[in-house]
Amino acid sequence: MFRNQYDTDVTTWSPAGRLFQVEYAMEAVKQGSAAIGLRSKTHVVLACVNKTNSELASHQKKIFKVDEHIGVAIAGLTADGRVLSRYMRSECINYSYTYESPLPVGRLVVQLADKAQVCTQRSWKRPYGVGLLVAGLDESGAHLYYNCPSGNYFEYQAFAIGSRSQAAKTYLERRFDNFNSSSREELIKDALIATRESLQGEKLRSSVCTIAVIGVGEPFHILDQETVQKLIDEFEIVKEDDVPPAEPQPEGEQDAAADQGAGADQGGGDAAASEGAAPMDI
Amino acid sequence: MTMTMGTVDESQRTLYPYVTGSSVVAIKFKDGILMAADMGGSYGSTLRYKNIERLKPIGKHSLLGASGEISDFQEILRYLDELILYDNMWDDGNSLGPKEVHNYLTRVMYNRRNKFNPLWNSLILGGVKNGQKYLGTVNMIGINYEDNHVATGLGNHLARPILREEWHEDLTFEEGVKLLEKCMRVLLYRDRSAVNKIQISKITEEGATVFPPFSLKTYWEFAAFKNPTAGAEGSW
């Protein structure tokens, strides 16, 4: 009768020591369109793939400025992502009111993770269905963190989350050795290539991706569309011409077409959920 | 209605200070900050305590000097101990510098003043972090500023004119101490609540040191000191 006895609420353990509701929340991250982050000693670049729910709609914002020195890219439930970035903004502004200095990135990330953790231990709550790539700069340099619905957080040199992020990750894994000494421009180029990897067939254009940069002497900002298009052209990334316009999207192994999700960054999730993976440790 | 509008619960506030410390004087010097204060504690105008430390290191990078109500200063120290403890508990390599501590104190002092329950102090906060010297002050009503040399209380009137004349950016440690001693001597002569037991404290990139107390050489044999009322007869 029941497919799974142990997934009706967040606080119920399975005999194997798993929390299914938390794992489902992490599946939500995989359904959202990809977000990518990479870091050098001095800069962090965030990139994301913009998907629209319909031809008539504009895409949802997936990269948010939190403060002059911190920004996030999200994948999963956009609404949850907005709530969390509002929380981060308010933490930053309170810190700078009290101390007149920027909140260290690592501390914000821990606070955020603690907030997510609470939702995994209260029967009346729901875990956040969003993964956040937090890019920031502080006294100790440039940082890139990944925050997960489970309340875990990790620091990365480069990372990708969301649908088809594996392709981007593979690219980043091949190249991350050099990232630490990369220039800002090289980072952006790698971000664009990694973004293209996760597009699957679709042509990389400035309209399907957003790029944001934070670095020494450069407050967090989202690059405008013309700049991004110019960079794409400059790097001559557009090699394969005329891929048919991406209207009916081909379904990947684990992601569904985006237009089913009601106002969310995600599509239907049944296909993925039935795979029964144990992604607790990412 | 049991209560009329506008009634306020009875509460106790600091309406005037009880035991107070006198001036603190502080300057920037070549390698950091130097601060000086005496060790007296006055109960009203009675010189009641003679061994009160009013210069305290705060965390790794800051030094705090206080004049005014001693018990309020001790409460401020408790706040700061907690602040530094929680900062250290992050254990992430970040730490609050003098600028952050000064701004925090500014918020605390102004907040208490707005509750009509001020912490009755004038504070000086100095420090060095990442090669950056910092020296600022905040008082019981929340007025705050940074400067190359600062002083509280009577020091503002008696020490700062000297500092304006003689202070310069690259004072050595010895020159700095000499300059502070000159200020403290003037204060000792002219401030009735000053005491001849003085502490000097130094903070540099290497950390803070509060030196053992010492006394200044004084000469009281001037005629004006011997008979101070000669030219101003009182009514008694």
Six-digit token pair at B139? 């008082």
Dihedral over Cα of B187, B190, B196, B197: its sign: negative
pLDDT > 60? residue B139: yes
Write out chain A residues lying below 8 Å of B107, CB-based: 97-98
Q: Would you tell me how many other CB atoms lie within 10 Å of the CB of residue A242?
A: 6
DSSP state of A13: P
- In this predicted structure, what is the pLDDT of residue A271? 42
Separation in Å, CA B151 to CA A204, A207, B35, B157: 63, 60, 9, 9
Query: Which of B93, B96, B97 lies closest to A140 in CB terms?
Result: B93
Q: Given an 8 Å threshold on Cβ–Cβ distance, is B96 in contact with A97?
A: no
CA distance B101 to chain A (A): 7
pLDDT at A2 exceeding the cut of 90? no
The band of A259, judged by pLDDT with boundaries at 50, 70 and 90, is very low
Interchain contact A141–B (C-beta under 8 A): no
Query: For residue A250, what pLDDT band results from cuts at 50, 70 and 90?
Result: very low
**B59 CB near a chain A CB, below 8 Å?**
no
pLDDT > 80? residue A278? no
Chain A contact set for B111 (CB, 8 A): none
pTM for this prediction:
0.86
Q: Which residue has the tokens 């607790």?
A: A280
Kindly tell me if the per-residue pLDDT of A81 is higher than 90.
yes
| Helix (H), strand (E) at residue B132 | strand B132-139
Asked if residue B46 has pLDDT above 70, the reply is: yes
Over residues A147-168, the mean pLDDT reads 97
Catalytic residues of B: 14
pLDDT digits (tens, 9 = 90+) for A159-171: 999 999 999 999 9
Contact call for residues A221 and A63 (beta carbons, < 8 A): no
A58 touches chain B (CB under 8 A): no
Longest CA–CA separation in chain A, Å: 60
Count Cβ atoms below 10 Å from residue B173 Cβ, excluding itself. Answer: 14
A100–B94 CB contact, under 8 Å: no
CB distance B151 to B161 below 8 Å: no
CA neighbours within 13 Å on the CB side: how many for B94? 19
Integer Rg of chain A from CA: 19
As a whole-number percent, the residues of chain A with pLDDT over 70 amount to 83
Distances (CA, A) of B71 to A14, B13, B20, B41, B187: 56, 13, 9, 11, 23
Query: In the prediction, which pLDDT does B17 show?
Result: 95
Contacts of A138 in chain B (CB under 8 A): 94
Assign 3-state DSSP to chain A and report helix, strand, coil percentages, each to 5.
35, 20, 45
Residues A11, A25 contacting (CB under 8 angstroms): no
Collapsing DSSP to helix, strand or coil, B47 comes out as strand
- Taking CA atoms, what residue in B is nearest to A104? B94
State the Cα–Cα distance between residues A124 and B67, nearest whole angstrom: 52
* Across A20-41, average pLDDT: 97
Confidence label for A212 from pLDDT (cuts 50, 70 and 90): very high
User: B94 to chain A: which residues are within 8 Å by CB?
Assistant: 104, 106-107, 138-140
Å between B204 CA and nearest CA of chain A:
19
Residue A97 sits at the chain B interface (C-beta within 8 Å)? yes
Position A248 scores a pLDDT of 47
Report chain B's mean pLDDT, rounded to a whole number. 94
Residue B88: phi and psi, rounded to 5, are: -70, -30
For residue B135, give the amino acid letter: L
pLDDT of amino acid B236 = 62
Distance in Å, alpha carbon of A228 to nearest chain B alpha carbon: 35
Q: Buried b vs exposed e over A81-119: b needs ≥16 C-beta within 10 Å?
A: beebbeebbebbeebbebbeebbbbbbbbbebbebbbeb
Contacts of A107 in chain B (CB under 8 A): 90, 92, 94
Give the bridge partners for B39, in sequence order.
Answer: none
Examine the pLDDT at A64 and tell me if it is beyond 50. yes
Assign B232 a pLDDT band (cuts: 50, 70, 90): confident
The answer to whether residues A104 and A141 touch, using CB atoms and an 8 Å cutoff, is no
Pure H helices in A32-101: 78-99
Q: How far apart are CA B23 and CA A45, in angstroms?
A: 52
Residue A115 has φ and ψ, to the nearest 5°, of -65, -40
Does residue B162 carry a pLDDT above 80? yes
Phi, psi of B40 (to 5 degrees): -80, 150
Instruction: Give residue-wise pLDDT tens across range B163-198.
Output: 999 999 999 999 999 999 999 999 999 999 999 999
Query: B107 CB near a chain A CB, below 8 Å?
Result: yes
